[in-house]
Structure 1
Amino acid sequence: RINNHSSYADVSTIPNLPQPSTMPEPVAGWGGLSRMHLIGTGLMFLAIFMGLTPALLSLDEIIITEHDAMPEKTAYNTIVFCVAAIPAAISQLYKERTMIRLKQPIDRNKLNLVLSIFQLLFAVVVSPLAYGLQGMGAGSGWTAQYPSTQISQNFSDGFYCFLGILDTDTQATGYPEDARCEYAWELVIMHVISILLVGVACDKLAAATKIMYRGVSMGIMVAVIFMFIYQIRDKWCEYGPIVSFFHLTSTAVLIVGADVYHRV
């Protein structure tokens, strides 16, 4: 017989039962971010600054590499690559802000498809303008190469290079750097497939945030290790122990900052 007046123990008094975690208090004036968010963000900014330090010193003619044949060119490319992440971050923030403000169900697949189409169109328009940037820091007067005045010619050359039918003379002398069109379309397709696979993996692991963020940290470490091995093998640009120290230390600080940020 069931006793309807049975008393049950309070679950909070049961030992070894995990208690619900409490969200940390947000810091006033920081848009709801907690102290852990701010510490993690600060560490990631510190990591970025440490990674850019060799490039910034090279631009100030303080060469800390061993025998890099093109320190200024390497510095400009590094800085531009880092700055290119700013519009991508703004786009991501705007997308998240829009999804929060609408407060209605959104088909993420359709949204990502529309964004991908706009990104493709933007790249098609802007890429021919930026071909001259391949020669950044290559010598005096390199700034006159940008913006390019031969947009249509650049576009057609890029299309022919993608198909692998660009003539060898244009590849050798048409642009500030030699154009290497071998396996161009294969590399583009592999790049697109890789992005799609990362997106699918993030969607599948969205609920398991700890696993996803650990995977991101592992991906950063693997990428840095492979690039470091490539750098060691390439004697043409052997940067030396000082630059390697900055790069490896910035990687460690970046991973720690990301881990602190996502602990909340």
Structure 2
Amino acid sequence: MLGRAFTVTRAFTLTASCTASCCTTRLFSSKKLLPQLLPQLRPIIPVSFDDFRVLPKAQRDEVIKLWQQMGGGDKRDVKKWCIDVTNGMEATAKTTKTTTETIETTETTNTQQGYILRFDGGSRGNPGPAGSGYVIYDPDGSEIHAGWKFLGERTNNFAEYSGLIEGLEKAKQLGVVGTAEGDSKLVISQMTGAWKVKHPDMAVLKQKADEVRGNWDFKWIPRADNARADEVANIAMDEETDGEC
């Protein structure tokens, strides 16, 4: 564990180390280290909790390595929590009780352009246990948000539309707009108007998507380019849970 001797200089070193080895927008730690680590990091960067399990395996391995270098012992601790350094978003850690200050993520008043929303959904049985997922990227290609939802017994098309709707709703909260990309030709073709909506269930979903579409454009992409959204959608189906980071 880090003691009181943990300095701002150490925090700068940690930030640089993680930025180089993990990715340019993330810094990770254990929930148990957070009360000591957070005061050193707050003057440098805004931080908030994130869910460790959605990270690619290579990044998880780097986090565990960093955790051990910091003096952490049990891998199970670091696999539970991480600190997500997001682009322009501020929050206060839920476990930090030393201050009454609350920093909340605020919706951008002026819509930011050039973002990418990728969505996916799946059903094991079609219909069967289904889940949806989405990922939002900033104009530089950095992931800024991901979310997933377990849908119960649903069809694949229902799950695909759900991923799009949830992603558009989150994008509206963040105040961003750009191009929504998915590997479902049905969803993309219906959103662009290339295909008519014939099934009553699809008509309901299309209407919901239209209500939150704003100024987003829509583009079909190959399944291979949608691996990250597929990954978070599978978390929903594997664990039968909802989540976001």
In which range does the TM-score fall when normalised by the shorter chain? under 0.3
TM-score in terms of structure 1 length: 0.22
TM-score in terms of structure 2 length: 0.24
More strand by share: 2
More helix by share: 1
Tell me which of the two structures has the higher relative contact order, counting C-alpha pairs closer than 8 angstroms and 6 or more residues apart.
1
